[in-house]
Amino acid sequence: DAGITQSPRHKVTETGTPVTLRCHQTENHRYMYWYRQDPGHGLRLIHYSYGVKDTDKGEVSDGYSVSRSKTEDFLLTLESATSSQTSVYFCAISENRDRGHEQYFGPGTRLTVT
Amino acid sequence: GQNIDQPTEMTATEGAIVQINCTYQTSGFNGLFWYQQHAGEAPTFLSYNVLDGLEEKGRFSSFLSRSKGYSYLLLKELQMKDSASYLCAVRDGLLETGANNLFFGTGTRLTVIP
C-alpha cells in the first residue's frame, strides 16, 4: 500500500470555525490531490498540487484553500466551515512515471460541521 | 460537461460472475480506471484501460470500448469480501501541469450473498 496518512481521521467542528486537514505521504510522489465524497456524488476534486508551493483549483474549490510547503505534506484549510462542507475528505497521490498515472488514496477524514 | 453513469446497486451470489457497467460522455479521453471501496475505507486501485479491449488481473477483468463510451468490470468467482462499492473514473486528459483530471461516477454498491 502507498504510504499516505491523513489527520485527523474524524473531526466535529462548529460553523464559522477554521479547520485544517493534513495529508502526509512517504512515496515522494509529485502530485497530490484533495477530494470530497458525498452521497449521490462521485469523488470531486477540490484542489491539487503539482509540486512544492504549486497548487491549482479543482471542480469544487470555493471555500477551501491549500498549501504545500514540503513534498510530503499537503494541507487543506476550510477558512470558515459551513454545514455544506460536512463530508468525507480523501487525499490522493500520483506520479506520472507509473504506467497509468493511477492515484492512490489516503484513509480519509470524516468532517462534521454543526 | 462530464457524465459518467453506473448502476447504483447490484446483488450477486457467492461463486458467481457479475458484470458492472460504466458509460461515459466526456470532452476528452485519456484512460479509464476502476476502484474498489469498502464501506468506511479508501478507494483502492483495481484496473486501468486506455486502449480498447480486455485487461485481466486475476479474478477481475476490465473491458473498454472507446467508440461506445463504455466499460465494464467483470468479477469472477465472487467472494463475500467482494461486497463493496466499485467506482468508475475517466481521465479527461492530463492538465497542463501534468496532473490527472479524473471524473468519478457515483459508484455501484455490490452485495454478495451466500
In terms of C-beta distances under 8 Å and separation of at least 24 residues, what long-range contacts does A72-75 make, across chains too? A72/A24, A72/A25, A72/A26, A72/A28, A73/A22, A73/A23, A73/A24, A73/A25, A74/A22, A74/A23, A74/A25, A74/A32, A74/A34, A74/A49, A75/A20, A75/A21, A75/A22, A75/A23
Give the pLDDT confidence score for residue B2 in this predicted structure.
82
Given a cut of 80, whether residue A99 has pLDDT beyond it is: no
Q: What is the mean pLDDT of chain A?
A: 93
Contacts of B62 in chain A (CB under 8 A): none
pLDDT band at A114 (very low <50, low <70, confident <90, very high): very high
Residue A44 backbone dihedrals phi, psi, to 5 degrees = -125, 135
Give the pLDDT confidence score for residue A96 in this predicted structure.
72
Give the pLDDT confidence score for residue A52 in this predicted structure.
94
Given a cut of 70, whether residue A97 has pLDDT beyond it is: no
For chains A and B, CB pairs below 8 A equal 64
Q: List pLDDT tens digits, range B30-69.
A: 899 999 999 999 999 999 999 999 999 999 999 999 999 9
Q: Is A89 on the interface with B (CB under 8 A)?
A: no
Give the pLDDT confidence score for residue B74 in this predicted structure.
98
Nearest CB among B100, B103, B107 relative to A94 is that of B100
Give the pLDDT confidence score for residue B1 in this predicted structure.
66
Q: CA angle, A95 as apex, A89 and A99 as ends, to 5°?
A: 115
Q: List pLDDT tens digits, range B67-110.
A: 999 999 999 999 999 999 999 999 987 667 777 788 999 999 99
Q: A43 and B104 in contact by Cβ < 8 A?
A: yes
For residues A11-19, give the mean pLDDT: 97
Given a cut of 80, whether residue A66 has pLDDT beyond it is: yes
Lowest mean pLDDT among A6-10, A85-89, B73-77, B89-93: B89-93
Give the type of residue at B46: L
Strands B84-94 vs B32-37: parallel, antiparallel or unpaired = antiparallel
Residue in the block written with cell 500520483: A94
Q: Is A42 on the interface with B (CB under 8 A)?
A: yes
Given a cut of 60, whether residue A1 has pLDDT beyond it is: no
Q: Is B36 on the interface with A (CB under 8 A)?
A: no
Q: A43 and B98 in contact by Cβ < 8 A?
A: no
β strands within chain A, DSSP E: 4-7, 10-13, 19-25, 31-37, 44-51, 54-57, 64-70, 73-78, 87-94, 104-105, 109-113
Q: Is B80 on the interface with A (CB under 8 A)?
A: no
d(CA B73, CA A103) in angstroms, rounded, equals 18
Residue A84 backbone dihedrals phi, psi, to 5 degrees = -70, -10
